[in-house]
Amino acid sequence: MRRDIFQAIADPTRRAILVLIALQAMTPNAIAEHFDMTRQAVSKHLKILTECELVKQEHQGREIYYLLEIEKMKEIDKWLEQFRKIWETRFEQLDALLATIKKK
Amino acid sequence: MRRDIFQAIADPTRRAILVLIALQAMTPNAIAEHFDMTRQAVSKHLKILTECELVKQEHQGREIYYLLEIEKMKEIDKWLEQFRKIWETRFEQLDALLATIKKK
DNA sequence: AATTTGCGCAACCGAAAAGTTGCGCTTATA
DNA sequence: TATAAGCGCAACTTTTCGGTTGCGCAAATT
């Protein structure tokens, strides 16, 4: 199975789960209540998120709380970095251009 | 067809294409040379990238150059923003904690 | 001790994705 | 003007994905 963060966040439900548990750790049942699908479907998503370490478990009796692994999210940010460089450069160029026009 | 940026960047080939043309606009044939697949397969990826406006075309005779729409990439950055807030807060908390320890 | 609750796992299914080959159209080139 | 080159589009095939139902197990509850 090919599991990477980008494939993990491709699914809108998984993105919603990440936002949900970012605020507060939750059990699969609690998460499922927020969606129109079975607990098992949510569990499948959680499994994928766990596999690529975007989420981790915390056992509490028979309940399992899922919480966000914020560190892993930085990898997306890291990939974006190469493009951020480009748009910042372009912004500077635009800025310089505007300054030139103003001068005239 | 469900086409959003997150699904677009889920595919490793598409991510590679984005990085490629970020440096320099390219034709489908030129792009295909970088991968172990047919030109048609690359064209399919380009179509998807075009559909969600991560890429745009520039016709030049019978050749079509594909170039990055850097603006669209910011949408990923925008989504990431909510998580960035979290990791920055946590960093500050860690920082404060370290400062407290140092004081003692 | 019996029952309910919370969970993961496996089997199954339909839809979508990722690739292929095979066109046909348009623009260069000989 | 015939031929080659660069594309997009459509049909088809094989995986993968996202969801379901149906278990079985461990921890609470009665």
Interface TM-score (ipTM) > 0.90: no
B42-57 per-position pLDDT tens digit: 999 999 999 999 999 9
- State the residue range of the domain holding B88: 5-103
Q: Integer distance in angstroms from CA A5 to C1' D20?
A: 25
**Overall number of domains in chain B:** 1
CA distance B4 to chain A (A): 8
pLDDT tens track for B77-103? 999 999 999 998 877 777 778 878 876
Is A51 a residue whose pLDDT tops 70? yes
Give residue B12's Cα distance to chain centre: 10
- Whole-number pLDDT of residue A103: 67
> A-chain residues within 8 Å CB-CB of B80?
73, 76-77, 80
CATH number of domain containing B13: 1.10.10.10
Confidence label for A104 from pLDDT (cuts 50, 70 and 90): low
Best probe of the A interface among B3, B9, B89, by most A CBs < 10 A, is B9
Q: What is the pLDDT of residue B68?
A: 97
**pLDDT digits 0-9 by tens, B1-31:** 568 999 999 999 999 999 999 999 999 999 9
**What is the mean pLDDT of the segment spanning A4-17?**
97
Protein CA A91 to sugar C1' D9 (Å): 38
Is A76 an interface residue toward B (CB < 8 Å)? Answer: yes
pTM: 0.89
CB contact under 8 A, A87 and B73: yes
How high is the pLDDT of residue A2?
61
Q: How far is CA B93 from CA A16, A24, B58, B80, B98, in A?
A: 26, 17, 49, 20, 9
Q: Give the separation between CA B76 and CA B58, rounded to whole angstroms.
A: 24
- Write down the mean pLDDT value for chain A: 93
